[in-house]
Amino acid sequence: MNPFDLALRRLDERLRPPRLPIGDVSYALHDTGLGQLVLAVAEPGTVVACSYDDEAAVTEHLARALSPRVLRRPDRLDTLRRQLDEYLEGRRRNIDLPTSTVLATPFTQNVLEVLRSVPYGSTTSYGDVARAIGEPQASRAVGNALGANPICIVLPCHRVVRGDGSLGGYAGGAEAKHFLLELERGS
């Protein structure tokens, strides 16, 4: 292998998210007031997806990144579905399950890690997140990373707004983001 190809291979390996040592990935479709979500857990119950994307796109991504055994097993997601419903009803402030951002790129993983420190009922800006990861000029890249959040709601990307306080984008749409922020402000 020539040096150029070797360098490209090493770069590709560095940018590819690490694989979890897992067997099956269980997923389910879950209807909410915000629309249908695709939820997925890797064994033994680590949340890897809570997505507004369509079922085929999510399951294909799961199969490529984690395991070829992606099974529609709603029973294995009962706890996540219950906690998510309680959160959306205002009876819970967070989802108390382990998560893995293994479906995200390393940059997105860094951005998502910042979300863990944004308290319920609070917001931060894209610029603040960019500064928190040491990339103060990367507000747009932060927005793109948040748009690629594989675990929406569970990792609260809806809590990130524009510097002027306006909503900004959200994978579930502006109405969903507004609903989630108002839900948290009212609880």
Output the tens digit of pLDDT for each of the chain's 187 residues.
555 454 445 544 444 444 444 579 999 999 999 999 999 999 778 999 999 999 999 999 999 999 999 999 999 999 999 999 999 999 999 999 999 999 999 999 999 999 999 999 999 999 999 999 999 999 999 999 999 999 999 999 999 999 999 999 999 999 999 999 999 998 5
Q: What is the DSSP letter of 37?
A: E
Measuring CA to CA, which residue among 83, 89, 138 is closest to residue 110? Answer: 138
Q: Are 159 and 178 in contact (CB under 8 A)?
A: no
Give the span between the Cα atoms of 165 and 185, in whole angstroms.
14
Shared-domain flag, residues 32 and 69: yes
Domain presence at residue 11:
no
Shared-domain flag, residues 74 and 28: yes
Shared-domain flag, residues 83 and 114: no
Give the span between the Cα atoms of 156 and 27, in whole angstroms.
20
Give this prediction's pTM.
0.85
157 is catalytic: yes
Give the span between the Cα atoms of 57 and 179, in whole angstroms.
25
Q: Are strands 35-42 and 46-51 parallel, antiparallel or unpaired?
A: antiparallel
Single out the catalytic residue among 28, 41, 48, 157.
Answer: 157
Give φ, ψ of 7 to 5 degrees. -65, -40
Domain presence at residue 63:
yes
Can you list the positions of beta strands (E) in 23-164? 25-32, 35-42, 46-51, 70-72, 124-125, 160-161
Domain presence at residue 16:
no
Find the CATH number of the domain harbouring 25.
3.30.160.70
Query: Domain containing 155: what range?
Result: 106-186
Shared-domain flag, residues 60 and 114: no
Shared-domain flag, residues 179 and 110: yes
State both tokens at 104: 């995200």
